Structure 1
Amino acid sequence: MRFITFLSVVSGGLGTALAAPRNLHVKGVSVLGTGCPYGSADVTADPSNTALEIRLSEYVVRTGPGTMASDWRKNCKLTLNLEYDAGFQFSTLNTAITGFAYIPSGAQGQCQNSFSFTGAPGEVNYGINLSGGRDGRFSLSANPDIAAWSPCGGSTAILNMNTQCWISPTEKQALIAVDRISSKLTVHVDLEWRNC
């Protein structure tokens, strides 16, 4: 398992022109975790089928006076049942998180996205740092130098994703939360496709 560190601030989308199947459908989503109560997660594929967007409407990490250990770290585990044209396999390429953060000087926030495929070896981890001295909307991205590919030989894959965010130290008042404009914490995932 390798950990990918923060790379850049994103000013726009991450999409790249990659060969992709004509059809990609999210057939089912199951969620589990303190950051995504039932009904608070939504997943869509973009029209080019080269990206997924996961929107979490109740994801809030808080530290400081009056908070508890359950507030300091949140996670959301999603299992995505994806259906697409036969003859392809895909991997996660880039990931970006957009939301709101208040991280004072002397504090540090971090988010980690992990991806794996049911029935295939390997896991890819992306790490995004939210340094202190931040107050407002953020959009941060990471790009791995390794890949895990969905299995070949079919037209479906189960993509497992786990988003975790936390803040330290917990004594300082700080926040990682949904963006005030969109009312979502959004995880954008670019997909790389190849023929089997």
Structure 2
Amino acid sequence: MLTILPFLALAATALAAPAAEQPAPALTVPAAPPSAPPAATSSSVPNPSQVTINSISYGGTGCPQGSVGSFISADRLTFTLIFDSFVASIGPGVPVTASRINCQLNINLQYPSGFQYSVLGTDFRGYAGLDAGITGVQSANYYFSGSQAQAATSTTFKGPMSGDYLISDKIPFTSTIWSPCGAALPLNVNSQVRLTSSKSAASGLMTQDSIDGKVTFVVGVQWQAWQSINCFLDSVDCFARPDKGGGLWWTWQCCKDRLSGWSLRGGL
């Protein structure tokens, strides 16, 4: 996913909670297991009117101050960031520093207590013009402030190629990260594009979309509710969600002090 992108968009999508007829199995720890999350109802996701972006800060060679715009959709489930300067290039006479660009985003999303969200994947649109011998790598890292857990995506382009591109990255379920329960901490997105060359005379460019001069970068997020139970004999905030495997396995995550946490797995 080359990011000679000048347009970043983040889209939030609600995730339906698992049906109640698939109860979570008991944990083999001294804790009273909570009941399974409810079936998909209006309480499965935040009230759209209560989800909004408080602030967005950014910095990097691909997004100098004043070069990024943003908006949130009417249903408040999609927000878009628009870049004007996310362009990488390489070739004779081009400064070495132009071959690698990045943008660090800090997104403060406000939403009701009792919910968490996670990054599902990204969509990149743009234009890539690469001579033979030019390789471009677009990568993105996602993490929440105060958390060491990260999710990452990466795509490689090899020349010769010329044209628009649309690529969708999906973050594996096992790599999904969740915002801390009980605290609405910022989501950080570090996107980078790097061009390299194996031929001294070759050139390459990752730039704006050929239609609107922008590039969109869409991040999907999913929601889940969490509840308080007694875990390890301490009262902490926990949630249960179906793990990969059709609901037969569940992951229980207990967030001590509402910021740090651990996960336990139990299943049938």
Q: Give the alignment of 1:40-189 within 5 angstroms.
A: 40-145=67-172, 146-154=175-183, 156-169=184-197, 171=200, 172-189=202-219
Contact persistence 1:27–1:81 (CA under 8 A): yes
Query: Counterparts of 1:117 and 1:58 in 2: how far apart (Å)?
Result: 25
TM-score by length of 2: 0.63
C-alpha RMSD of matched pairs (Å): 2.4
- Write the deviation string for residues 5-28 of structure 1: whole angstroms up to 9, x where unpaired: 99xxxxxxx886624322321111
**1:88 positional shift:** 0.9
1:18 matches 2:15: yes
Query: Counterparts of 1:32 and 1:60 in 2: how far apart (Å)?
Result: 14
Query: Counterparts of 2:170 and 2:162 in 1: how far apart (Å)?
Result: 24
Query: Counterparts of 2:117 and 2:126 in 1: how far apart (Å)?
Result: 27
Where does residue 11 of structure 1 map in the other structure? none
Further displaced range: 131-140 or 59-68: 131-140
Contact persistence 1:24–1:85 (CA under 8 A): yes
Stretches of structure 2 that go unaligned for 5 or more consecutive residues are 3-10, 17-44, 227-268
**1:79 positional shift:** 0.7
Counterpart residue type for residue 51 of structure 2: L
TM-score by length of 1: 0.84
Contact persistence 1:43–1:54 (CA under 8 A): yes
Bigger radius of gyration, 1 or 2? 2
Identity %: 30
Contact persistence 1:24–1:45 (CA under 8 A): no
Stretches of structure 1 that go unaligned for 5 or more consecutive residues are 7-13
Where does residue 34 of structure 2 map in the other structure? none
Q: Which structure shows the bigger proportion of residues in strand conformation?
A: 1
